[in-house]
Chains A and B, each alone.
Chain A
């Protein structure tokens, strides 16, 4: 691997993953994608709590049918929210699962954006507002859901769609 390819991986530990090694064949887009991902999910300043960014990621993955992405991000959503039972209900029943009102609004908005063409409109925005989300939190829902529309497609076509044990 050249320096260009190491830079694309961003985290050198990813060299252990066959999926990331495959993506590193085009290192520039992998690097930009990874940095986009990190800001959307890890930027701790204001906006939507991490648990609910992961909830949106889980909802999109469930809607698209990326079993691997859904299980990984459901685990993050559970860890950060401590609401394992409800997260499991989303995995079991899908995006129409019975959740509390705020989570239902986030899941419905994320799922609407996941569809092609997206059916996300002012109705979804108003529903998120009614549940206490400000503009930055709504942008976080949009980014989290849009980003997983990217991630699911890559994983389903080039990755391992079946959960490979733990990890």
Chain B
């Protein structure tokens, strides 16, 4: 089954079957297959628990947008359109991406010698105008995702309370945290492979 489904990192990075980079990736085949399995279990889960597939794609669209990665944004936005298709939702997500983009990592350290390196930055709050389209669960999920994407050192236990308040269970918070953190990996793997490919093309 996974043989026929395209590898998402290859899709995002533009790695062609039989190319030099395809062969290099094949030398870390377990990593490649399990990165793909990670994608599958997060976005086509056998045991979805309380997090719907539409919610997963909505969060992923927001996260891909915050990373300003055009390929990942297009990929997850089209997945969301297929799973939800609500124009108002997609418009609200795009508006929140535009409000949320920034430059990370920043945040505060636990009090100690590293406090000298504390770096201030914005904490994302969903605009009133977009709350209705997102609903309280996604609004809380997006605010948390923004923390994880840009200032993970501020994302500790205290930050989880607003997810609980918005109705996210502990199991669902684990899934949400994995999903956002996985995307931080997947998008960077694609960025890195793309750069390697571009550097190789220049050399040839």
Contacts and interface: CB of A to CB of B under 8 A. Distances in A.
Interface in B9-67: 20-21, 24-25, 27-31, 34-35, 37-38, 41-42, 45-47, 49, 66-67
Question: Looking at B25, B47, B181, B200, which has the most chain A CB atoms within 10 Å of its CB?
Answer: B181
A158 B177 contact: yes
A136 B189 contact: no
A121 to B, nearest CB: 5
Chain B at the A interface: SS class: helix
B200 A150 contact: no
Nearest to A47: B27
Contacts of B195: 120-122, 124-125
B172 to A, nearest CB: 9
Contacts of A121: 195, 198
Interface in B92-120: 102-105, 107, 109-110, 114, 117
Band of interface residues on A:
35 or more
B162 interface: no
Given A150-B185, A153-B148, A122 B199 contact: yes
A58 interface: no
Interface stretch (B122-130, B133-141, B149-157): B149-157
A142 B199 contact: no
A99 interface: no
Contacts, number: 194
Band of interface residues on B:
35 or more
Given A33-B178, A64-B152, A139-B193, A28 B109 contact: no
Given A28-B47, A153-B181, 16 more contacts: A29-B175, A29-B179, A40-B31, A43-B31, A118-B67, A120-B191, A125-B195, A135-B200, A139-B27, A145-B188, A146-B186, A146-B188, A147-B185, A150-B184, A157-B147, A158-B173
Interface of A: 4, 22-23, 25-26, 28-30, 32-33, 35-36, 38-40, 43, 45-47, 63-67, 94, 113-118, 120-122, 124-126, 129, 135-136, 138-143, 145-147, 149-154, 156-158, 161-162
